[in-house]
Structure formats: C-alpha cells, structure tokens
Amino acid sequence: MNVGVALAKIAFGYASGAISILSDGFHSLTDASSNVVGLVGIRAARQPPDEDHPYGHRKYETVAAAAVTAFLLLVVIEVLRNASNHLSGRSAPTEITTSSFVVMIVTVAVNLVVVAYESREGVRLSSEILIADATQTRGDVWSSLTVIAALLGARAGLPILDPLAALVVAGFIGYSGFQIATTTTRILSDRIVIESSDIEAIVRSVPQVIGCHHIRTRGSADHVFLDLHVWLPAAMPLEEAHHYSHVVKDRLMERYPQIVDAVIHIEPPPS
C-alpha cells in the first residue's frame, strides 16, 4: 500500500509539476523503505541469545526504527531543494487539475487505513518499529492534507502556496523524525523503563523483605531487563534468603510480564 501511494504521488507530481505532490510522494516513499528496514530489523531481533549476544538481539528492532530517521532526513533535503527551485522560479509552473485532488484524496484514505492498523498492532505487540512507522505515516496524512489545501489555493490563483506547502511538508517530516529519534534514543541509551517506586512497592509486598535499593531497568517496553539489591534479615540462612529472592522475582515478573530477566542481589539491611 505504501509503495502504491508513493508511486502515484511521485508520478503525478512529475507529470503536473506540482512540487507539493512530488514532495509528499517522496515522503510516502520513505514509508515503504522503512517497511523493508523494519522487516529486516524484526527478523534479526527474533534471533535467540547466543554466545556473543547473551542479552539477545532485541535491540536490532530499535536500530531499525532509528534507521527510519535517516530516511526522513534524506527526504527533508530533497523536499527543501525542490521547494527552493520553485520559489526561485527555476522550475516550470504547476498545472492543477481535478486529477490532482483525486490522487491526493485516495492516497490519504489509504494512509489512514495503514495508520489505524499499524497503531493498533504496534500497541498490542509493543513493537517499536510498528509504532515508529505509524508515526511516520501519520505525518504523511497531515502533510497530504496540507498539500490538498495548497492545491485549492493554487487553483484559486495563488500558485506560491504550492512550494510553501512543500516547506510545511518538510516540517511534518522533520517532526516525525524527531519523535522517532527521541523514542529510539531512550532505548539505546538504557533509559529507565519501569519506575523504581513501582518496583519497590512490589518487592516490599513480600513480608520477609526489609527493603531494596539500586533498582535499574533498561530495554524496550516489551523486553525489559531488571536488576536490584534486596535487603533480608542478616541472620536469615542463605538457603532461605535465596528462596525469598525467587519469591520477589516471581512477583515482579507476574506483575510485569515484559521483564525477560531479573537479577536480584541479596544483602543485609544497612546498619
């Protein structure tokens, strides 16, 4: 669907000279490109842990989502170049026809279907690449609506609205890239995933536990690694303390099934 939308816009943009439609077509082309990157990234992320990757390969999906940002940057540069040519008069005048509106309206409808599906499945599967791609395609919808408004203005005798709309499209693309880059950077930089206070509340629900500290979480929303220090009575036998550490771990993983591993260090409470 993304390939069809992109080809329709780019072909019609070149044929009509409408720089806003052409720019939006390049924007849509990144949707298809990011789909390919996402498929490769997800396939790599599904590989089980091995000797070189004891924590698994889950971050390959995050890297794939980050690669979408690179595609968006290239598109922004192309859109700005084309808009500059039109504003400086180096490109042919735009021919606005009824077909222009038909192409844009149909592609907006297709994009709305893609956004709804990817957003729903992205949340259900906690998939970064699906959510990132839905965010990118949602920006495509807004930019397409901007293009339609510009085409109406150009047909009413304001042709400058066409390249100006292309600049607005560049803004939408840039903002989509910023959102995706922000999300992936948080994961790659090991930002906390679950609040320490929430973890502590579950740990303290085990009566034998005195407290905990040094709580750390990292990873993605659906693939979390946790480690923490648990305080148990100093006089408690090691075997018993070990048992209660497993009780803590079981409760944590029951409450947060996205935790794939929890490392619990047993120690006496501070004096």
Collapse the DSSP code of 263 into the 3-class scheme (helix H, G, I; strand E, B; otherwise coil) and give the result: strand
Q: What is the pLDDT of residue 244?
A: 95
Is the per-residue pLDDT at 81 higher than 60?
yes
Is the per-residue pLDDT at 203 higher than 90?
yes
Measured CA to CA, the distance from residue 72 to residue 220 in angstroms comes to: 23
Q: What is the pLDDT of residue 90?
A: 53
DSSP 209: -
Q: What is the CATH number of domain 2-188?
A: 1.20.1510.10
Q: Is 132 exposed, middle or buried (0-12, 13-18, 19+ CB in 10 A)?
A: buried
Provide the residue type at 96 as one letter. I
Report the candidate in 172, 269, 165, 256 with the shortest Cα–Cα distance to residue 217: 256
Contact status, residue 92 vs residue 196, Cβ threshold 8 Å:
no
Q: What average pLDDT does this structure show over 29-50?
A: 79
The CATH class given to the 196-267 domain equals alpha beta
Q: What is the pLDDT of residue 2?
A: 80
Is the per-residue pLDDT at 60 higher than 90?
no
- Among 89-93, 169-173, 182-186, 210-214, the range of highest mean pLDDT: 210-214
Q: Is 86 exposed, middle or buried (0-12, 13-18, 19+ CB in 10 A)?
A: buried
CA dihedral sign of residues 149, 153, 159, 161: negative
Q: What is the pLDDT of residue 228?
A: 96
pLDDT tens readout for residues 135-153: 777 877 877 787 787 778 7
Confidence of residue 18 (pLDDT cuts 50, 70, 90): confident
Confidence of residue 95 (pLDDT cuts 50, 70, 90): low
Place of tokens 């990011």: 34
**What are the domain boundaries of the chain?**
2-188, 196-267
User: Which of 54-63, 193-202, 212-221, 261-270 comes out lowest in average pLDDT?
Assistant: 54-63
Q: What is the pTM of this model?
A: 0.65
- Of the two residues 228 and 160, the one the predictor is more confident about is 228
Structure tokens that stand for 5 in this block: 């939308």
Measured CA to CA, the distance from residue 69 to residue 205 in angstroms comes to: 43
Question: Could you tell me what percent of the chain has a pLDDT over 90?
Answer: 27
Q: What is the pLDDT of residue 246?
A: 94
Report the candidate in 63, 62, 59, 73 with the shortest Cα–Cα distance to residue 30: 73
161-188 and 59-87 helices, crossing angle to 10°: 160
Q: What is the pLDDT of residue 96?
A: 67
Longest dimension (CA), the chain: 86
User: Which of 82-96, 134-148, 214-228 comes out lowest in average pLDDT?
Assistant: 82-96
pLDDT tens readout for residues 237-252: 999 999 999 999 999 9
